Amino acid sequence: MPVVSIPFLGSAQPATSVTVSAQNWTNMFQVNGSEGAKYGKVAYSTPGTELYYNVPNGSEIRALLVLNNLAYIVAGEILYQMNTSGTFVNLGTLSTFTGRCSIITNGLQVMVVDGLKGYSYTISSGAFAEITDVDFASPAPQLVVYQSGRAIYAKPNSDQFYISAVNDFTSWAALDFASAESDPQNLVAAFTTQLDLLLFGKYNTEVWVNTGDTVFPYTRRQGVLIEYGCAAPFSIVNVNNTVIWLAQNDQGQCLLLTLNGYRPQVITDKFATETLSRLTTIRDAEAFVFQMDGVVYYAITFPTENKSFLFDISTSMLISWKSWYQTGTDYSGNATYDCGRHLSRCYMFFDNKHIVGDYRTGRLLRLRPDVYTDYSCGPDNSICRSVTMPVLSYKKLRMEVKSLIVDCESGVSPIPAATTTGNQPLLTIEVSKDGGRTFGYRRIVSIGNQGEYSKFSRLLKFGMARDWVFKLSTNHPSFIGLNAVILEVELENE
């Protein structure tokens, strides 16, 4: 009897036609096995979150920055300074209390913009003040960046970008600006890499460089025009000496791009690109990048769409990144929940920890690969994890699945076996016999209580079908490592 192993490979997003590919990964990411590994590709659980510190005013986390072992945090209308012991100092008050902010530093000052006003905090004197220079934009931009001692921003509703004086965010000269030259369009954002200043328009991007000229230091790189603009200014991040951003041009939108030199490249596969293209509201997208266990991740959230995605740069897979949220109450007054966007917003690497803001309230959370719950999410802090496997089909012949084994990490539950009543490490297996269009009956198997390292379950008699798809899911608070689904099958006569 043939034995078939279904590996964890391919896209992590379904195709427009699920009969082509129904694969869909939620809160699980792919790991490439090294030489000599049991399998070439396996699936591991994404990191969970735990409380780091509560911000005093309990308000929305809007921006994070690290400088000299101190964190600067915009929460609600307050700019805080925090040390590694969790001591907060109120540095000043903004005029707004909600919405994304941008925060930068030159080592001497910290600058914040919130889309209405700009603010500076002088570290040596402790002075916090609104930027009142008449040549500073009013209303202020929502995004400001730093390069070579200067703050730089794209003036709202214009094709102009402005630069501050060197090492002084409060000083802006009337003639220290320039205009994008290639196309009569407003700028969406200015962004900096190590060497370049990128001026993102709606449909294309110019590259400028700092020449050190004493009159005006920036000039355009001749012969360079990137024929994609930016769909969401807060989607732009620096990573691996280049940028990733949510792009658009006059032919369409919602592509995740990076630059190879000055050549734009789509970083997601066909099916992931289709998933993004079906989103309606994308301008409010927010992104950050972090590196964990040697892997670099680009995390992007679409707040209006209530969706988050995690892009693994090593495997080029885009997975759904979700957290539980309360949708309301039922007829008995009990809370009801669903999975939506991930709870993280903004990021900093601080105190040798991966710290994110909680978009719901004024909490700083720590991302940890060895934590398997999300702090204060849903009825039990669990994380909904699932992997929909590739289709199993052969020449459209009817195939009988006589048995199924899930090869997975077992016995690693952090909960002692004696206390697992009602919280056993279980895996749900749902079966589709129509190529992933619908999933019928489900079976539940144990993946081993604590210490049951040799535990495995063999399920029998799944019946006949031409196009098999299996979906594995769990919300148990333990490390989930899925290696393969092993089937015993028998084909009808050809």
Name the DSSP letter for residue 38: S
* C-beta of residue 371 within 8 angstroms of C-beta of residue 77: no
CA distance 174 to 134: 8
Residue 306 sits at φ, ψ, to 5 deg, of 60, 45
Q: How far apart are CA 348 and CA 115, in angstroms?
A: 22
Amino acid 158: pLDDT: 95
Question: Which of 385, 390, 421, 394 has its CA nearest to residue 485?
Answer: 390
pLDDT of residue 418: 57
| Tokens found for residue 358 | 């909680």
* Cα gap 427→406, rounded to integer Å: 9
- The residues of the chain scoring below 50 in pLDDT are none
Beta bridge partners of 299: 288, 310
Angle at 342 between CA 341 and CA 345, to 5 degrees: 110
Neighbours of 186 (CB within 10 A): 14
139 cis-preceded (ω within 30 degrees of 0): yes
Write the pLDDT tens digit of every residue in 167-184: 999 999 999 999 998 887
Residues in contact with 332: Cβ distance below 8 Å, sequence separation at least 6, in sequence order: none
Q: Which ranges of 211-305 would DSSP assign to H, the alpha helix?
A: 270-277
Predicted pLDDT of residue 494: 55
Q: Where are the beta strands (DSSP E) in 7-46?
A: 24-26, 28-32, 41-45
Q: How confident is the model at residue 421, as a pLDDT?
A: 57
Q: What is the reported pLDDT for 422?
A: 61
Classify residue 447 by its DSSP letter: -
**pLDDT score of 46:** 96
pTM for the whole structure: 0.94
The pLDDT of residue 1: 58
- What integer pLDDT is reported at residue 417 of this predicted model? 67
Here the tokens at position 434 are 């129509």
